[in-house]
Amino acid sequence: MVSLLKTARMPSEKERILVVDDSPETLEVIERNLISHGYLVYTASGVAEAIRLLEETPLDLVITDFKMPKISGIDLVRHVRENFRDTQIIMVTGYPSVNSAVKAVKIGAEAYLPKPFTDEELLLVVRRALEKLTIRKLAKEAPETASLAPHGIIGESPSIRKVLAEVSKVAPSSATVLITGESGTGKELVARAIHYNSPRASAPFVPVNCGGIPEGLLESELFGHVKGAFTGATGARAGFFHAAERGSLFLDEVSETSSYMQVKLLRALQEKEVCMVGSSRARKVDVRFLAATNKDLHSLVRNGSFREDLFYRLNVITINIPPLRERGEDIVLVAGHFAARFAAEMGRKIPHFSDEALRVLRSYYWPGNVRELENVIQHLVVMSENDVIDVPELPPLMRFSALRNQGFDMPLAQMEAEYIRNVLASVNGNITRAAQILEIDRKTLRAKLKKN
């Protein structure tokens, strides 16, 4: 199977970066550093040359000096933001000040980096800026991507590509497939993909939630019953096995079945025949078996709560669905798909996510996986009054989780400096107000600003 999904940029493509500085030495140092890490780098000694390059070449990121002859870096930031919305901007300067930092961020710079900076500091802000750009592009393309998704399975991560490849391989066969993964990862979606890409696609796909049917009724629901088999059985009734004739029977939460039912299932899988409750005559069935569980069946076999022989009957081929938190940018694609779907249902314009909201979505742990993401997006689309969904509209637990995870990949001094700049930007450069928020005096704040 060849995935039809599109991405913002293929992994093999190099990101294009323009460096603008009137100092040849600075240009050379930054260019050499970025090229050594795999980026495609253009250079310009002034704003006029930079604008010409921007008009001629698609660029992902502009790194510009603040003070330059004739036209300043601030003017370039403003021009890029007004004319090239999908290009990120980083401002660097040898004359750091609170006002210039606040101004640069307010008009659209992604980051403000005072000179001198280390190679590691430069690379860190570059990676973050480009990551935000990738996420933003993925979010824009999500509705189109979803319409092209094979089997309705949305994603471009290596782990989900592996799942799609496995579906493609097993679908044409009649082999029993055990689908494993945490709750909410989409195990039934994978089972449907296997069925509807198999020779049995024109026959029924019958899902059975083994954990949702009372134990006393499960046997009758699966195998059917004859008239008078038990109190209330006023007539014969076919079971799910009969309903799935020549198709596929999907046994979800198969680990929740009792030992008694496990024996019955084992016989059905081995002999391809079932016996209705109250009858002594077995009937052959032509059914493909698909099963799913969110538990470790190996452990259940070891502790005796799941039959070993049934496990091996089910575990002919195993497909493991990765949790959402391990799927990287797939979170953005899936979120965009749900936003488009729920907006269409409500007859509303598709909302967009702010960069910070997307960052929070990506950093959240998602214990409920895709099902939890679907519920969150539906809530946001229904309750949002704007076309842009921002961090304050996200559930509190997600916002707090993101704050706890933020900054673990940077030195303490750099994290402090970044936090101080964010606080200053939030109060429009008001030193007194920023010092109050930080709970330090103005003199200490000025010293930290000078240091950083």
The per-residue pLDDT for range 357-407, each reduced to its tens digit, is: 888 898 888 889 999 999 999 999 999 888 889 888 888 777 665 555 554
With b for 16 or more beta-carbon neighbours within 10 A and e for fewer, the 44-75 pattern comes to bbbbeebbebbeeeebbbbbbbbebeeebbbe
SS3 356: helix
Orientation angle between helical segments 47-56 and 73-83, nearest 10 degrees: 20
The answer on pLDDT for 222 being more than 90 is yes
DSSP letter for 394, please. Answer: S
Q: Nearest-CA neighbor of 191 among 167, 208, 156, 161?
A: 167
Mean pLDDT of the chain: 84
Quote the distance between the C-alpha of residue 434 and its chain's center: 35
Q: Nearest-CA neighbor of 44 among 82, 75, 17, 10?
A: 17
The per-residue pLDDT for range 35-87, each reduced to its tens digit, is: 998 899 999 998 989 999 999 888 999 999 888 888 888 889 888 888 888 89
Q: Nearest-CA neighbor of 178 among 305, 296, 307?
A: 296
Q: Which residues contact 389 (CB under 8 A, 6 or more apart)?
A: 339, 351, 352, 353, 354, 357, 380
Lowest pLDDT segment from 16-20, 98-102, 258-262 = 98-102
SS3 92: strand
Cα separation of 267 and 270, whole Å? 5
The answer on pLDDT for 148 being more than 60 is no
**pTM, 2 dp:** 0.65
Extended strands (E) in 189-303 = 205-209, 248-252, 273-275, 282-284, 288-293
DSSP letter for 217, please. Answer: H
Task: Give the chain's domains with CATH numbers.
Answer: 16-139 (3.40.50.2300), 158-321 (3.40.50.300), 325-405 (1.10.8.60), 412-451 (1.10.10.60)
Cα 413–Cα 416–Cα 421 angle in degrees, nearest 5: 125
Q: Give me the residues paired with residue 92 across strands.
A: 65, 113
Q: 330 vs 8, 141, 154, 161, 380, CA distance in Å?
A: 12, 12, 7, 11, 19
Q: Note the pLDDT of residue 378.
A: 94
How much is the CA Rg of the chain, to the nearest whole Å?
29
The per-residue pLDDT for range 274-317, each reduced to its tens digit, is: 888 888 888 899 999 999 999 999 999 999 999 999 999 999 99
